[in-house]
Amino acid sequence: MTSPTTASGQPPPDYPTDWTFDVVVKDGATVRLRPILPDDAPGLQSLISRMGRESIYHRFFRIKTTLTADELAYFTQLNYSDRMAFVAIHEGQIVGVGRYDRSKEDPRVAEVAFAMADAHQGRGIGTRLLEQLTDYAREHGIEAFRAFVLADNHAMIRVFRNAGYLMHRELDEGVYTVEFPTADSPEVLAAEAEHEKRSVAASLLPVFYPNAVAVIGASRNPTSIGGRLFRNLLQGDFSGPVFPVNPNAEVVRSVKAYPSILEVPGRVDLAFIVVPAPHVMDAVDQCAAKGVKGLVVISAGFSEVGGEGAELEAQLLEKVRSAGMRMVGPNCMGVLNTDPVVSMDGQFGPLFPPRGNVGFSSQSGALGIAILDYTTRLNIGISTFVSVGNKADISGNDLLLYWEDDPATDVIVLYLESFGNPRRFARIARRIGKRKPIVAVKSGRTSAGARAASSHTGSLATLDIAADALFRQAGVIRADTLEQLFDVTALLATQPIPVGRRVAVLTNAGGPGILAVDALESNGLVVPELSEDLQVRLQEHLSSAAAVRNPIDMIASAGPDEYRRCLEELRHSDEVDSVIVIHIPAAPEGLDDIAAAISEAAAGYATHDKTLLAVMMRAGGAPRALAMGEVPVYRFPEAAARALARVVKHGEWRVHPDGEVPHLDGIDEKAANAVVSGALAAAEVDEDGLWLDPEDVDAVLRAFGLDLPRAAVAASADDAVAIAAEFESSAVLKVISPSALHKSDVGGIALDVAGESEVRQAFAAVTGAVPDASGALVQEYVPGGHEVIIGMTEDPTFGPLIAFGLGGVFVELIGDVAFRIHPLTDVDAAEMIGDVKSARLLEGYRGAPPGDIPALREALLRVSALVEAVPEIVEMDLNPVKVGAPGEGVRPVDARIRVRPVHGSWVPSRRDIPSAV
């Protein structure tokens, strides 16, 4: 987005430049919301002139035709704190404004008011302005809004109600006084999510369901991209007209061509642009003039090449959004929709996949071609496919919102190379995944993950760990490879999600059955021994040589009848949740009949909510009877077991409680922020920030109920002796040095020191361990307890990551650490502890003393709350944290906190929620 400026070329000094957002409204159009500028006075006057008498009366309680110079100055010249206003801009015009004025009598309350051009009422712009204004007001200490609304102004009351606010209304002489809190509530968040989903879905309809399309750059050369794309649209039987645009050809593939889209007769909903990058801008301008609603920019040469290409893409996006269009790409492969209502093959690859229930998004065009090839070979049916390319406008998040209520899509599959807004992705995916599974493969598992780290937590965190944490919290099924992606997708597209971990293995050979059992159990699934009753029923259909305990080895002589009958018995059994059926062809004949028997059984399994997977161990792949996609078919049992395990875990996530961010007592946000602000103001801070002094670290943690042992900094041995003498217990001395991250490695720490002589010796030892020591921290010694680490590091893409693991000197040696993306819920905190294998020690493993696990969970939540309240914190180590016996609590005994100004860093805020683009 571009930053607005005044006539002088710069916005006012206090202008909040990071509060400009492009949002999608109810009818799918794009509208820009930004803080008002003094130079907006003419635009505001124009808005008043486009408002009808009734709208003017509802806003000002009297009829006005213009605003006076004083009024315009008052409405446009603000301090952006006590007085604030956002304007909504569509196609270069101000079409709406929302504002608040803080009450002088009660600074926690502000009066709010809105004005909207008549032609733009009912589009949801007022709701978007209210959401934006509410977020801004809350961040500036305003706890409630008050509005004065005429009794017959039903539209304004509806805006407040539709936003999910719990209103208090009082009617006095025909005027309602409406009050509502600015704080989040489940109702507000649900309303915002619903508005976002409907708006984005509406904006994408011209892309997926156009009535007419044009190909700008359609070519008569059948091998060119423009030629292949145009051919695919024609051969795919697109339901509407396809117009080729080519100034150098009169006809393309027997279809009349046009030199410009402006000369195409009638309306065009969607335009594919396949011209060199320098000509894309002119094509977009013509599409805007034509009234095109959707663009698919195939052309490359934008941000993927960097430099001028990135600048060109920014200009392209500005044009697209200013015109209220939506865009796929640039640098993409295209879009397709298999729905026979539209039947659009708008991509330049050679294959059009079978119709099905899988929505597929690929960030790579080349891989998109391979993906369509594999889906066709594996008969995985596609509903819609989008190659998002550079994701300048339409992103994976937008597609998720479209697919959420798309009746043709039951499974969502993503190939990702990067995240645009990970927090928004997690929020959307968590909601959608409860109804429609999302499968993703994320490339870049190791690149960009290594970075210089100055804390234990930072050295343990990588980009891939962050992605894993994101997927886990959002309920996304992560595949490590494209092969696994297709294995999982084939299962989800054809079978119900299992309700449990119990699996039966039915096979005609013992070896593959054993391999299947090993793979299932190593992936956390259960292969139970079947009851005697079920074994007897199975044995009735099989040879006496068969084994029926589970795995069920029918032996090589088993034919179609044995497969059919045994599968029927397992389908009706309540002892298993899934069945893997394995076949190795023992003879060239009979394979098709066995495949037909398995296919016949699959229909019954679907009606009983029981999951069936087939393994056909032959080089030729699935027989014809199983190739129609009714049951997923794998070549080896290990692949089937891995796919099933991932799907089972997803099913468990679906029924798992979401958790909530709890309210914690004993927190003083103002105190912590004051300490950090003071430290930053008192020092020259570079882009890396600074490490807080021990006293400041202690004050910040204490403000959030995380009390360190008593401590003070000693500049000399005499200081150390004096400090230690005040402790009732012995002391710990720790060197203070910017280079000594691992104090124990360099001899920079001395434990359990008592008496003047020992303290002096310890001070000399720890300060002499490194050349840049500035003294020592003398701290009370806390004996006993389990040692754990709680930490935080800021990922530039994902934001803050919270870490938990075995503490002390073993943290990096063992690496048994769990990560979650901030903010933590109570469920996240509990799961983090459970994920760490060594945390079993806290439960009293093999006679070890148990630890206070509830207090540890609370400590994790307090760290998350601290990160939320003080966004300047970018790195933190509490290591070790001593975990006492049950009821004794936890206590960090060593802590480091790095801070830097929030400018240019990740800032936690809910204002990413209303932004739909």
Task: Kindly report, residue by residue over 137-146, the tens digit of the pLDDT.
Answer: 998 999 999 9
Q: Are 376 and 350 in contact (CB under 8 A)?
A: no
Q: Are 696 and 675 in contact (CB under 8 A)?
A: yes
Task: Tell me which residue of 359, 211, 206 sits closest to 293, measured CA to CA.
Answer: 206
pLDDT at 586: 78
Give the confidence band of 809 by pLDDT, cuts at 50, 70, 90: low
Assign residue 248 a region (left: φ > 0; alpha: ψ between -120 and 50; beta: otherwise).
alpha
SS3 category, 307: coil
SS3 category, 80: coil
Q: Are 582 and 549 in contact (CB under 8 A)?
A: no
pLDDT at 627: 66
* Residue labelled with tokens 């795919």: 236
In the chain, pLDDT over 90 holds for what percent of residues? Answer: 64
Q: Are 343 and 237 in contact (CB under 8 A)?
A: yes
CA dihedral 818, 820, 826, 831 (to 10 degrees): -30
Q: Kindly report the CA angle at 30 between 28 and 31, in degrees rounded to 5?
A: 130
In the chain, pLDDT over 70 holds for what percent of residues? Answer: 92
pLDDT at 609: 80
Amino acid at 733: L
Distance CA 567, CA 605 (A): 9
Q: Are 610 and 572 in contact (CB under 8 A)?
A: no
pLDDT at 843: 85
Distance CA 715, CA 736 (A): 10
pLDDT at 912: 40
SS3 category, 668: coil
Distances (CA, A) of 763 to 343, 747, 774: 78, 11, 11
Could you say which DSSP state residue 33 is in?
A: E
**What DSSP line would sit under 95-134, residue for residue?**
EEEEEEEE-SS-TTEEEEEEEE-GGGTTSSHHHHHHHHHH
Residues 6+ positions from 712 with CB-CB distance below 8 Å = 695, 719, 723, 777, 778
Show the tokens assigned to 385: 């496919």
Whether 451 shows a pLDDT value over 70: the answer reads no
Distances (CA, A) of 83 to 17, 149, 401, 560, 800: 16, 20, 34, 78, 32
Task: Tell me which residue of 468, 470, 416, 491 sits closest to 647, measured CA to CA.
Answer: 491
Q: Are 696 and 764 in contact (CB under 8 A)?
A: no
Give the count of alpha carbons within 13 A of 136, CB side only.
Answer: 30
SS3 category, 567: helix
CA dihedral 721, 723, 726, 730 (to 10 degrees): -70
Give the confidence band of 813 by pLDDT, cuts at 50, 70, 90: low
Strand order in the sheet with 578-583: 552-553, 503-507, 578-583, 611-616, 633-634
pLDDT at 742: 66
Distance CA 149, CA 457 (A): 53
- Range ranked top by mean pLDDT from 450-454, 462-466, 779-783: 779-783
Looking only at the bridges linking them, the beta strands covering 633-634 and 611-616 are parallel
Give the confidence band of 120 by pLDDT, cuts at 50, 70, 90: very high
> pLDDT tens digits, residue range 602-660?
888 877 789 999 999 987 677 777 766 689 999 999 999 999 999 999 999 999 888 88
Q: Are 792 and 870 in contact (CB under 8 A)?
A: no
> pLDDT tens digits, residue range 194-207?
888 999 999 999 99
Average pLDDT, the chain: 88
Strand order in the sheet with 382-387: 344-347, 334-337, 382-387, 355-362, 411-416, 438-442, 477-479
**What DSSP line would sit under 888-908, residue for residue?**
S-EEE--EEEEE--STTS---
Assign residue 266 a region (left: φ > 0; alpha: ψ between -120 and 50; beta: otherwise).
left
Which of 214-223, 228-237, 438-447 bottoms out in mean pLDDT, i.e. has the lowest? 438-447
Whether 7 shows a pLDDT value over 70: the answer reads no
221 phi/psi in degrees, rounded to 5: -80, 110
Task: Tell me which residue of 353, 412, 363 sits closest to 387, measured CA to CA.
Answer: 363
- More confident position, 421 or 862: 862
> pLDDT tens digits, residue range 101-119?
999 999 999 999 999 999 9
> pLDDT tens digits, residue range 267-287?
999 999 999 999 999 999 999
Looking only at the bridges linking them, the beta strands covering 251-252 and 213-216 are unpaired
Average pLDDT estimate for 552-575: 94
Task: Tell me which residue of 391, 276, 271 sits closest to 325, measured CA to CA.
Answer: 271
> pLDDT tens digits, residue range 154-177?
777 777 777 776 666 666 666 777
Whether 682 shows a pLDDT value over 50: the answer reads yes
pLDDT at 810: 57
Distance CA 546, CA 716 (A): 82
Whether 452 shows a pLDDT value over 50: the answer reads no
pLDDT at 449: 35
pLDDT at 444: 62
Q: Are 100 and 120 in contact (CB under 8 A)?
A: no
* Partners of residue 614 on adjacent β-strands: 581, 633
Give the confidence band of 453 by pLDDT, cuts at 50, 70, 90: very low
Show the tokens assigned to 274: 């396949």
Give the confidence band of 915 by pLDDT, cuts at 50, 70, 90: very low
Residues 6+ positions from 607 with CB-CB distance below 8 Å = none
Distance CA 74, CA 203 (A): 36
pLDDT at 917: 32
pLDDT at 808: 55
Q: Are 347 and 336 in contact (CB under 8 A)?
A: yes
Whether 43 shows a pLDDT value over 60: the answer reads yes
Q: Are 56 and 64 in contact (CB under 8 A)?
A: yes
Distance CA 782, CA 892 (A): 9
630 phi/psi in degrees, rounded to 5: -75, -25
Q: Are 777 and 734 in contact (CB under 8 A)?
A: yes
Report cis status (omega within 30 of 0) of the bond before 823.
Answer: yes
**Element containing residue 830 per DSSP (H, E):** helix 826-835
Distance CA 442, CA 463 (A): 11
pLDDT at 162: 75
Looking only at the bridges linking them, the beta strands covering 213-216 and 270-273 are parallel
Q: Are 647 and 496 in contact (CB under 8 A)?
A: no
Let me know if 710 is exposed, middle or buried by CB neighbors in 10 A (0-12, 13-18, 19+).
Answer: middle
CA dihedral 218, 221, 225, 227 (to 10 degrees): 50
Count H helices, E strands: the chain? Answer: 28, 38
- DSSP E strands, 117-236: 144-150, 168-172, 175-181, 213-216
